[in-house]
Amino acid sequence: MIRVAVTGAAGRMGKTNIEAILQAEGTELGAAIVEPTSSLIGADAGELAGVGKLGVKVVGSLADAKDDFDVLIDFTAPQATLANLEFCAAHGKQMVIGTTGLTDKQRDQLNSYGDKMALVFASNMSVGVNLCFKLLDMAARALGDDYDVEVIEAHHRHKVDSPSGTALSMGEVLANALGRDLKECAVYGREGQVGARPQKEIGFATIRAGDVVGDHTVLFGTEGERIEITHKASSRMTFAKGAVRAAKWLHGKANGVYNMQDVLDLN
């Protein structure tokens, strides 16, 4: 059995990750970590996640659980994730990271840990979304510069980063396929007299409302037709199942930074 720990265990994704670990074959919950000031420390992790008593007590730091897990699933915040990477690298652990909103510098820091440990890092752990990445690459290469490209994403009101990490990953896939630099061609929203649309823009539009789990659409448009590739998540369980799948896949892997395309053998 692979012992999996969940950090941010009191959050929406944390609770769903715990449930997914229990549903999967070959994995068990080794530890559940919350902030060191949390009043939930000492509670039963299963009761916290709403799945019944498990006998795994919630702790306030990775150090308190260092002997209890093999792989850590982390969907927290950039600074916390980097601190958790340092701990896991020092103690021979592996990580599955779904944290979004990292700066370029923070992503460089994350990638530097590939020399010390095996980890999976992806902006979206959903199997469906990662299949969409593959489809987007194929579509962009086939359609080329004759089609305008727009990325539209919607999430719940609590999401703090914009555009979503998934939308940005879609933009990177599209830019690479089209031979463009996303930093130069991306446009994040439009307002006022912006003029006609340049041919090689990749546009992003963001919606934040209610309890939307995650919707992403890429629109390819040209004179006479448009093509849309859409993924809609109706439950966080799709992300959690992907994360647990990645945690199982990591077992026995050499040091390196992998992504969900590797996990799903889509590369």
Name the residues annotated as catalytic.
155, 159
123, 100 in Cβ contact below 8 A?
yes
20, 244 in Cβ contact below 8 A?
yes
241, 208 in Cβ contact below 8 A?
no
Pick from 226, 212, 228, 208: nearest CA to 132: 228
